[in-house]
Chains A and B, each alone.
Chain A
Amino acid sequence: MLPKRATNAMRHLPPCGGGREGGQPRPGFPVTLFILRRLLTFAATLFVAALIIFILLDLLPGDPARFILGINASEASVAALRTQMGLDAPAHERFFGWIAGMVRGDFGISATQRVAIGGLIAERMAVTLPLTMMAMVLSMLIGLPLGIVAAMRRGKPADTGLMILAQTGIAIPNFWFGMLLTLVFAVALRWLPTGGFTPWHENPGAAFRGLILPGLALALPQASILARVMRTALVDVTGQDFIRTARAKGLTRSEAIWRHGLRNAFLPVLTILGLQFAFLIAGTIIVENVFYLPGLGRLIFTAVSERDLTLVRSATIVLVLAVTATMFITDLLYTLVDPRLRRQNA
């Protein structure tokens, strides 16, 4: 028989539904407010970044108009170009003019190419963006399953082998890997083109084939990182109490990891995914050079060497925008996956 305790603390207390026990969790505020907050941080970061870019390029000694027209141009034509480029206005007017223009979708006119910068960037993004996406998808398709397999077989030969592979993958510079891929698949096997790009509207199939090798080159190091992160996250989660609880309910270890561990392990992976997208965008700029792809990177390099500052300015802010936006979206996804964040003020 079970002993019946002499005292009954319940008598003196309201029913436990009232939250008497150890204090009620703190009231939070709704999801929309959280999103609004992140949106504000996002916008503020972007604004400060734009300001930095503007100041840096504005500080540049020398006269861009003079640079474009050459040393032999007359004072009058330089002055005319300055007015045309809007260089006469005070700095703050030019800054806010630039921002206001971008909000409307007007990025200004390229000084050297004499066409709308918005169109130029859009044209180049048609190469850079699909390439980044492809690399992202490839790295997830390769990295995540391998990370899961390694974690499930922790300490076994498969795990060791995969982690040695990942260790190597992380150490390989993506552009060099691109060079090696060209050597094997384009020169030796002749499966794919060595470089260059057929525009999408001419031949979508050829355009896609042109992106396969650069995509792989970008994806491999990222996949290695992802595999390591996924493995670490899953191994960490496996040691947590709720996995033991799940096993106590009647699940085997791998069933428990599968049902309860994976979603929890995905949280740290999500952070890395956000960062990776940002770094892939930067990585494409380098890898484009290996494959002679007409992407955003090559546009920027041309602009830098021709000192087309308006173009450099707008192209870099687009890159910064892509990075910041990715971070913002990662934050939102985080709140979607983790209910604890939905009611927090952090």
Chain B
Amino acid sequence: MALVEIDKLNISFDGRAAVSDLSLSIEKGESFGIIGESGSGKSLTALAIAGLLPDNAKVSGSIRFEGAPLPGDERAMARLRGRHFGMVFQEPMTALNPLMKIGEQIGEAAELSQSGADIASLIAEVGLLPDHAGRFPHQLSGGQRQRAMIAMALASAPDLLIADEPTSALDTITQALVLDLIAEICARRGMTLLFISHDMRAVAALCTRIGVMRTGQLVETGETQAVLRAPKAEYTRKLVAASRMERRATDRLHGDPLLEVEQVSREYGQGGFWPWGRTTLRAVDKVSLTIAQGECVALVGPSGCGKTTLARMIVGLDNVSAGQMRLDGQAYRGRDLPPLLRAGLSLVFQDPFSSFDPGMTIGQSLAEPLHLLGNLSSAERATRLHDAIMSVGLDPAMLDRYPHEFSGGQRQRLAIARAMVTRPRLVVLDEPVSALDVSVRGEVLNLLARLQAEHGLTFLIISHDLDMVAAMADRVLVMEAGRIVEEGKPADLFAHPQHALTKALMAAQLPDITETSW
């Protein structure tokens, strides 16, 4: 008998359907994955199983757990999910009560389910240290918080573990560790897993059966390998294709050095009320690098390694504490970058949703960098805007519209158009596709590769996504704790990593979806 049976589930908000006619069953002991992009209804499905949907949701259809329909009474439902379900959510910082110690929060779960679980052994089981129990959530790192969440979910010794994007807020290495932990615990306890993610590789690595969701509908279900090797639905085919990164970079001849970073450091004072009590945090530590004209260089490293700080100094948003940079031979220390030199470089931000002022038209936002070039005639400005928006494959009529009218992928194209409007030579790309849905990532990367080829651009890509880096970069720099620890061509570097961090990053790479074998 199936552990969970969903029959014709419909969820709608204010008459708008979020999940329609969804039926699926999850067998006892299996691990079932739901893949979908944002807005596909995958999380709502999980919440529906646990009876945690928002109040304004209209639900029809039936959900049965161990053969019995979910109780309609709130208290009975609460007790049922307390005893039989364990849940892990995406953002462990907000999912934990900030005013309660970790141990108390785990203890509460054990007490409510009357499982008699021992908190100390739970803490050990998820790989935390005993003294973590006495800490508050803000005193733990992201990965540790997620481990605490898992311990809490296990405290009731649940039959079903529901993990909703449990690793998307974590960096690559931590993600791999947490996924390993989930897999290991499910195997050891023989626990059923419902795993929800937009990350095809994570689902493929963890689940035996998967369902693919799109705009509220289940488009395909089946054995993981069968679905991924021979997708039946068009949408699944598109997703599988998009998750494979093909190398876009061609071997190019590189010109003279365009950007030189010389012994650059950045220090932040912290904890400082008394001058003598101040500690300095060295975010970037004597970094030197050179990027040649026409080259595509990638800077990779875990979060907090200083790569974003370095990028901010290069584009002139922050000042160096020591050292200097040269763009085209002209030295600068950050914010002192003169306007004409500033026009020669630009930055594309990670989050396309916050990179446009909601109160300004796209045209106004795109024209903003133009005043770096001095007084342009209005005809010249119009030409520039027109060229920029055409170069990213969008319609010039969009210039009069507002950012909220565009999708994430379109906005990122518009952000690239803004970066192109001054006709820069160096473009810094800060995680250019990580905030986008998988299916549009490929298009944006293709666009970037085409622009580079057409305009002879030089790229500096900041990322933690090794696949994307391998596909785009001519050269990769690996950064850890403010220093560049390894450098090389992507093919060589990833085949024979030397430094421990590079090895760890490589090891944390989830295997390609069709390579997974067990």
- A/B contact in complex, CB under 8 angstroms: yes
A250 engages B517 (CB within 8 Å): no
- B129–A21 CB distance below 8 A: no
Q: How far is the CB of A271 from chain B (nearest CB, A)?
A: 16
A7 CA to B206 CA, complexed, in Å: 12
Residue B465 lies at the interface, judged by CB distance under 8 Å to chain A: no
Interface status of B94 (Cβ within 8 A of chain A) = yes
Q: Are A250 and B303 in contact (CB under 8 A)?
A: no
Q: Chain B: which residue is nearest A24 at the CB level? A: B141
Q: A25-33, A119-127, A218-226, A291-299: which lies at the B interface?
A: A25-33
Is residue A253 contacting chain B, with contact meaning CB distance below 8 A? yes
Name the one of B91, B179, B500 contacting A12, with C-beta atoms under 8 angstroms.
Answer: B500
Q: How many residues of B contact A (CB 8 A)?
A: 81
B31, B136, B511: the one contacting A339 at CB < 8 Å is: B136
Stretch at the interface among A57-65, A84-92, A241-249, A303-311: A241-249
Q: How far is the CB of A279 from chain B (nearest CB, A)?
A: 28
Does A1 sit within 8 A of B, measured CB to CB?
yes
A21/B174 in contact, CB under 8 A: yes
CA distance A15 to B91 in the complex (A): 22
Interface residues on A, range: 35 or more
> What's the Cα separation between A340 and B517 when bound, in Å?
45
Minimum CB–CB distance for B182 against chain A, Å = 9
Is A4 in contact with B183, judged by CB distance below 8 angstroms?
Answer: yes
Known: A16-B144, A22-B143, A249-B82. A2 touches B183 (CB 8 A): yes
Question: Which of A9, A26, A260 meets B508, CB within 8 Å?
Answer: A9
A5 to B516, CA, bound (A): 8
A345→B174 contact, CB < 8 A: no
Number of A-B contacts (CB under 8 A): 190
| Contact code string B143-160 (vs A, CB < 8 Å = 1, else 0) | 110010100110110000
Pair B509/A7 contact, Cβ less than 8 Å:
yes
| A21 and B113 in contact, given A2-B186, A5-B180, A248-B81 (Cβ under 8 angstroms) | no
- For B173, give its contact among A9, A250, A340 (CB under 8 Å): A9
B residues within 8 A CB of A20? 141, 143, 173-174
Name A's interface SS: loop
CB-nearest residue of chain B to A26: B270
B262-320 contacts to A (CB < 8 Å): 270-273, 277, 279, 281, 302-304
The reply on A13 being an interface residue by CB < 8 A is yes
Q: Is B360 an interface residue (CB 8 A)?
A: no
Contact B183 A250 (CB under 8 A): no
- In contact, A339 and B74 (Cβ under 8 angstroms): no
Report the bound CA distance from A28 to B279 in whole Å.
10
Residues in B neighbouring A5, C-beta threshold 8 A: 179-180, 183, 205, 510-511, 516
- A240 in the interface, Cβ–Cβ < 8 Å? yes
Supposing A13-B504, A250-B156 touch, asked if A4 and B170 sit within 8 A by C-beta, the answer is no
Across the interface, name the chain B residue whose C-beta is closest to A23: B304
Known: A1-B208, A21-B170. A27 touches B507 (CB 8 A): no
Residue from the list A9, A29, A251 in contact with B504, Cβ < 8 A: A9
* The one of A245, A264, A340, A345 that contacts B95, using a Cβ cutoff of 8 Å: A245
The contact string, 1 if C-beta is below 8 Å from chain B, for chain A 310-346, is: 0000000000000000000000000001111001010
With a 10 A CB-CB cut-off, give which of A16, A252, A255 has the most chain B CB atoms.
A16
Whether A245 and B99, one on each chain, are in contact in the complex, defined by CB atoms closer than 8 angstroms, is no
User: Does B34 touch A at the CB level, under 8 Å?
Assistant: no
Asked if B376 is an interface residue, CB under 8 A from chain A, the answer is no
Chain B residue at smallest Cβ distance from A155: B55
A247-270 vs B, Cβ < 8 Å mask (1 yes, 0 no): 111111101000110011000000
B7 at the interface (CB under 8 A from A): no
Q: Are A339 and B138 in contact (CB under 8 A)?
A: yes
A250 and B112 in contact (CB under 8 A), knowing A22-B143, A345-B270?
yes
In the bound complex, how far is the Cα of B50 from the Cα of A249, in angstroms?
A: 10
A11 CB within 8 Å of chain B? yes
- Chain A residues lying within 8 Å of B180, measured Cβ to Cβ, are 5, 8-10
Question: B279 contacts A27, CB within 8 Å?
Answer: yes
Chain B hits for A246, CB < 8 A = 97, 108
B273 contacts which chain A residues (CB < 8 A)?
Answer: 29, 33, 37, 345
User: Which of B79, B100, B127, B272 lies in contact with A250, CB distance below 8 A?
Assistant: B79
Cβ-based interface call for B87 (8 A): yes
* Chain A neighbourhood of B183, CB < 8 A: 2-5
Find chain B residues with CB under 8 A from A338 CB.
Answer: 98-99
Asked if B233 is at the interface of the complex by the 8 Å CB criterion, the answer is: no
**Is the CB of B503 closer than 8 A to any CB of chain A?**
yes
Contact indicator per residue, chain B 323-348, by CB within 8 Å of chain A (1) or not (0): 00000000000000000000000000
B83 at the interface (CB under 8 A from A): yes
A28-B95 Cα distance, complex, nearest whole Å: 23
| Interchain CB contact under 8 A, A23 and B508 | no
Instruction: Determine whether the beta carbon of A22 is less than 8 Å from that of B507.
Output: no
Pairwise interchain contact B128-A340, C-beta atoms closer than 8 A: no
Q: Which residues of A contact B50 (CB under 8 A)?
A: 248
C-alpha gap A340/B140 in the complex (Å): 12
A48 at the binding interface (Cβ < 8 Å)? no
Measured in the bound complex, the distance between the Cα atoms of B161 and A285 in whole Å is 61
The CA-CA distance from A242 to B31 in the complex, in Å, is: 26
Q: How far is the CB of B81 from chain A (nearest CB, A)?
A: 6
Residues of B with C-beta under 8 A to A103: none
Find chain B residues with CB under 8 A from A253 CB. 74
Measured between beta carbons, the chain B residues less than 8 angstroms from A26 are 270-271, 281
Contacts of B453 in A (CB 8 A): none
Say yes or no: is A56 at the interface (Cβ < 8 Å to chain B).
Answer: no
CA A4 to CA B511, docked complex, whole Å: 12
B85 at the interface (CB under 8 A from A): yes
Q: A9-B180, A29-B277, A252-B74 are in contact. List 12 more A-B contacts (CB 8 A).
A: A2-B187, A5-B183, A9-B173, A21-B170, A25-B140, A245-B97, A249-B82, A249-B112, A249-B156, A250-B83, A260-B97, A263-B99
**Chain A residues proximal to chain B, CB less than 8 Å:** 1-13, 15-17, 19-29, 33, 37, 240-242, 244-253, 255, 259-260, 263-264, 337-340, 343, 345
Between-chain CB contacts (< 8 Å), 9 pairs:
A2-B31, A9-B180, A23-B142, A241-B89, A246-B97, A250-B109, A250-B156, A252-B75, A264-B99
- Closest 9 pairs between A and B when the two form their complex, measured CB to CB: A250-B82, A21-B143, A22-B142, A12-B504, A241-B94, A23-B304, A9-B176, A248-B87, A17-B129
Show the binding face of B for A, using Cβ within 8 Å.
Answer: 31, 50, 52, 74-75, 78-79, 81-83, 85-87, 89, 91, 94-100, 108-109, 112-113, 127-129, 132, 136, 138-144, 147, 149, 152-153, 155-156, 170-171, 173-174, 176-177, 179-180, 183, 186-187, 193, 205-208, 270-273, 277, 279, 281, 302-304, 500, 503-504, 507-511, 516-518
